[in-house]
Amino acid sequence: MDCCGGTTEHEDDCGEVKVKDSIDAKTVEAAKALESENYSAGFSTTIETDFAPKGLSEDTIRYISAAKNEPEWLLEWRLKAYERWLTMEEPSWAMVRYPKIDYQGYYYYAAPKAGAKYASIDDVPKEILETYEKLGIPLREAEVLLGVEGAVETAAEGREKPRVAVDAVFDSVSVATTFRKELQKAGVIFMSISEAVHEYPDLVKKYLGTVVPQSDNFFATLNSAVFSDGTFVYIPKGVRCPMELSTYFRMNAENTGQFERTLIIADEAAYVSYLEGCTAPMRDENQLHAAVVELVALEDAEIKYSTVQNWWPGDEDGKGGIFNFVTKRGDCRGDRSKISWTQVETGSAVTWKYPSCILRGDDSVGEFYSIAVTNGRQQADTGTKMIHLGKRTKSRIISKGISAGKSDNTYRGLVSVNRKAVNARNFTQCDSLLIGDKCGAHTIPYVENRCASAQLEHEATTTKLSEDQLFYARQRGIAEEDAVALLVNGFVRDVLQHLPMEFAVEAQSLLKVSLEGSVG
């Protein structure tokens, strides 16, 4: 999808919203929706922070690398990416419009002053812990104290809920990783990538940048140069990771770009389910987020990667919010491997994101399940790429876009089938729902088939909420807003099913919050 130019025809959105009937009238309020109060994660934390010098230069990169005490090869790797980045142009083909980003106006590294890792969770600054608590992240919950001997096991036994190990990233650095001991017992490596660089340099060196090459695209290259921290996961051969792994990203510092880098490797016949959650406080400046996620699945391995993203989307006038330019890619390197992306996108002012699968191994499987909700002035251009290289590779894409307010929601996807990918299969379903008459829903699938025995099928629909269904629900006594929520939930059901339990519940309430007001 190295496409350019894309949009020439833009709709002006001046004038009053047409109020056609009672439903739309409420719907329209929705549009006015997304008032700042609705964003429950929009508080910021006051802590002392160390910044790299503002702006981007070779010095910034050396500063970051030195701050993290990195080996020489990694510094070289960063510098090479930076050199490359200087020659690249920011892509313009996506259906998103945003003011020109001043790459010199950001801090590329911000770390809480007290230092990155804490021996015990009691050493984690109180403010950070409180932040995570407000977000409902189980860092401290159940007395799972990082580095506190014995606590992990006892706490773990006492829990009934499925357990989630959490790595929390606060601005640029990872502040705590829970359940580490227990994971170690299973042979699972789960730590911040900066630590992994020191503790498992061979693994990092072997896989870093092999799925998303340094020069892949403008934002990925930028990330390669300045990535601050992120998560590293390695599941050894034949191991089924005993719990869900999770990272919470939190952007706090002002004018800070966040450039985390995640690398997950599932060795032969390994399995892992990984959850990523994101929040950012409300700030007027647009914050820049350019992450890279690389997944590698070897023979018979399976990786399930779920994201719930509710970065600050900006206020209803489109002021502030996160610019989210993310490169996520999975490589089904081994035969019969499987990578499954599930995403619930409700936040960010601008989203540019195409979690993809390279189906290299024979009989490998790629899946993409997505719910993207836009409201207010949000713009999302998201989708996936399924690259079929191996024999009998299968992919499945289910995308549900919901546009409300004055937002634009674009599905952009590529299904490409190589000549050698005999009997490859793809099924794609893209549905768009429009709530109110000032938003836009767009579907741009690209299909490239070079294999006669492949079967590809794509279906797409664009509709508004059905008045018949709405009436039916209301006739049975369900309040309008609940009826809409019910219908929207029905609309996205196929995707919600693919989220881990706890996440599905969270996603459901997030959907409701995101559309609040837009439905009366």
Binding site for other proteins (CB under 8 A): 3-9, 11, 13, 20, 93, 419, 432, 434-464
Q: Nearer to other proteins by C-beta: 312 or 352?
A: 352
Closest separation in Å from C-beta 256 to other proteins:
34
Closest separation in Å from C-beta 482 to other proteins:
21
Burial 311-331 (b: 16+ CB within 10 A, else e): bbbbbbebebbbbbbbbbbbb
Residue in 187, 199, 159, 190 with CA at minimum distance from that of residue 273? 190
Q: Nearer to other proteins by C-beta: 246 or 428?
A: 428
Q: Nearer to other proteins by C-beta: 261 or 406?
A: 406
Closest separation in Å from C-beta 463 to other proteins:
6
Question: How large is the greatest C-alpha to C-alpha distance in the chain, in angstroms?
Answer: 69
Three-state DSSP at 492 gives helix
Closest separation in Å from C-beta 84 to other proteins:
20
Q: Nearer to other proteins by C-beta: 19 or 282?
A: 19
In terms of C-beta distances under 8 Å and separation of at least 24 residues, what long-range contacts does 122-128 make, across chains too? 122/148, 124/175, 124/176, 125/47, 127/45, 127/46, 127/47, 128/45, 128/47, 128/170, 128/175
Beta strands 261-266; 231-235: pairing state: parallel
Q: Nearer to other proteins by C-beta: 180 or 377?
A: 377
Closest separation in Å from C-beta 430 to other proteins:
9
Residues 6+ apart with CB under 8 A from 6: 92, 93, 94, 95, 444
Q: Nearer to other proteins by C-beta: 6 or 242?
A: 6
Residue in 450, 421, 400, 110 with CA at minimum distance from that of residue 283? 110
Total number of residues shown for the chain: 520
Closest separation in Å from C-beta 423 to other proteins:
10
Q: Nearer to other proteins by C-beta: 377 or 438?
A: 438
Closest separation in Å from C-beta 176 to other proteins:
42
d(CA 308, CA 276): 6
Q: How far apart are the first and last CA of the chain?
A: 39
Query: The tokens 């209301």 sit on which residue?
Result: 474
